[in-house]
Chains A and B, each alone.
Chain A
Amino acid sequence: MKIRLDRTVCDGFGVCAKHAPGYFSLDDWGYASLIGDGTVAEQDHDPVMRALFDCPVHAITEIGDRKPDVVHPSPGSTDDPAENLKTESNEAQWGFTR
């Protein structure tokens, strides 16, 4: 199972981090971010689903099998130092994608 958290929807109730602290971290103001890429281990299914259902603003959704063929690019070969300039998962580190 894979989940996504829409942080533009999160209202900082913090219920998710109470149910599944290994998957959701809260900032100083109580707003959540996902820990990891949203992939949920089999044994953690129940607490994460509880977080999903208990979120008062429905910021957490289950994703995954809808588009199995979608290609996710990763730039460059491993000996290319430019590869770390940007990937789809590290915008935090390397840029405002315009």
Chain B
Amino acid sequence: MKTSQAAVITVATSPGCQPRLLGEQPGQAREDLAAYRGLGGYRPLPDADALLGEVESCGLVGRGGAAFPLAVKLRAVRDNGRVAAGTVVVANGEEGEPASIKDRWLLRNRPHLVLDGLRLAAAVVSADCAYVYVSDPESARSVEAALSELDSAPLRGITVSLLAVQPGYVAGEETAAVRKINGGPAKPTDKPPRPFEAGVGELPTLVSNVETLANLPYLQHYGSAAFRSQGTLLSPGTFLATITGAGRPPVLYELPHGLPFTELLALHGVSPDQVRGALMSGYFAGLLNQRVLESTLDHETMRRLGSGLGCGAISLITDDCPVAVAASVLAYFDRENAGQCGSCFNGTAAMAAVAGALRDGVATTEDLDRLRRWSVVLRGRGACATLDAATNVAASLLDQFPDEVAQHLDSGCQGCSRGAFRANRPYEAEAVRQA
């Protein structure tokens, strides 16, 4: 393990994993243009359509949380752009997920890897206008420095603008990014239209997470077969995982998809016996109980478990009470939602109130019935997925930890009565930095 001097984030890879994103010597210092070029970066791209073919063959899915196939998105933006006479590309580095650190690490330490991926994506969709959208001040400085190092040659006529916004959970949602770039607040809009239809300046817009883009230079260099040499059939390649919780400092790992969860635990120095469960995909995919120990780290397995790998942020729950964890996350959504959709600001407040009462041993059976019903009927009722994240947390608490829930309802929880887990930003990977 090495510790990054700039940001003090510990980074590591699993044994045998060839790092593509963290680089060969992760965390030494910000990789400058000469160092990145020395690794073969900013290679000429003679045929953008051929690269799109490679993206399709390699099966790369988005790393912002939704795991949407990148090739499908690229093709839609490119084709829509032919009708609309233009396209825009946005590198989304506004990592609103408190338990995740990966996007900030990439932007702070390997800005050229992200910019290289951005110009490749722009070439595929024929965009001449691109944005890097961030909130972390250190990421902004790093990207600014990287842009000032670049002569125009690698970008080949693509104008890249940096936009730094105030951090917020919803600010990184793709329509919030588009709305902010268009001059509005960094809050989501309702769909349709999606950015691939009408985004920045009403043009078809590719909004892509910075880790997703950072995979493109490797793909361009080595091809889709090499890309698939690590990972699983449906989750090819490696991914960045922010591991928090278990009373240990956060670590950013680059791991091959499909790695057994227990191997990650061994790497992290946590015994499986200690693990009560995990909070998955940052705050999005909810809780898993000890069944998480049988899982492998890929999208298809997590989906089969009714959860998600999402952005790769996993918080290990050892000593903390899952009821109290869920209550804290729901309270976070109550505070951090955009305050736009009535179903969301009412629903998150209502679910947070019940979960808080359950933690404090004052909830009733009727309260729980309401929580169960809300966790089902409120799904899909917001313009963005914040409300869905809250329903995932509520539903997974009831489904994965029925004994703990019943105990809180009957006699209360000894652990919680001694001093319950309460965190404004549970398992935060790094204290938020204001621009």
Contacts and interface: CB of A to CB of B under 8 A. Distances in A.
Interface string A1-29: 00011111111100000000000000111
Interface string B65-93: 11111001101100110010000000010
Interface in B310-365: 310-311, 338, 340-343, 346-347, 350
Given A7-B383, A8-B190, A81-B234, A97 B68 contact: yes
B193 to A, nearest CB: 8
A85 B72 contact: no
B382 interface: yes
Nearest to A85: B67
Contacts of B338: 8
A71 to B, nearest CB: 5
A9 to B, nearest CB: 8
Interface in B294-322: 299-300, 303, 308, 310-311
A55 B174 CA distance: 28
A95 to B, nearest CB: 3
A12 B300 CA distance: 38
A59 to B, nearest CB: 9
A7 B379 contact: no
Nearest to B341: A7
Contact of A72 (B76, B383, B385): B76
A73 B341 contact: no
Given A33-B381, A98-B173, A70 B197 contact: yes
B227 interface: no
Interface in A67-86: 67, 69-76, 80-82, 84-86
Contact of B385 (A5, A33, A74, A95): A95
Main secondary structure of the interface of A (DSSP, over half): loop
B172 interface: yes
Given A96-B284, A96-B385, A98-B65, A85 B341 contact: no
A98 B172 contact: yes
Interface residues of B, number: 68
A31 B347 CA distance: 11
Nearest to B370: A28
Given A28-B346, A70-B197, A96-B389, A88 B191 contact: yes
Contacts of B136: none
Contacts of B109: none
B426 interface: no
B16 interface: no
Nearest to B211: A98
Contacts of A81: 234, 300
Given A86-B66, A95-B67, A96-B389, A8 B189 contact: yes
A67 B194 CA distance: 13
Contacts of B42: none
A71 B96 contact: no
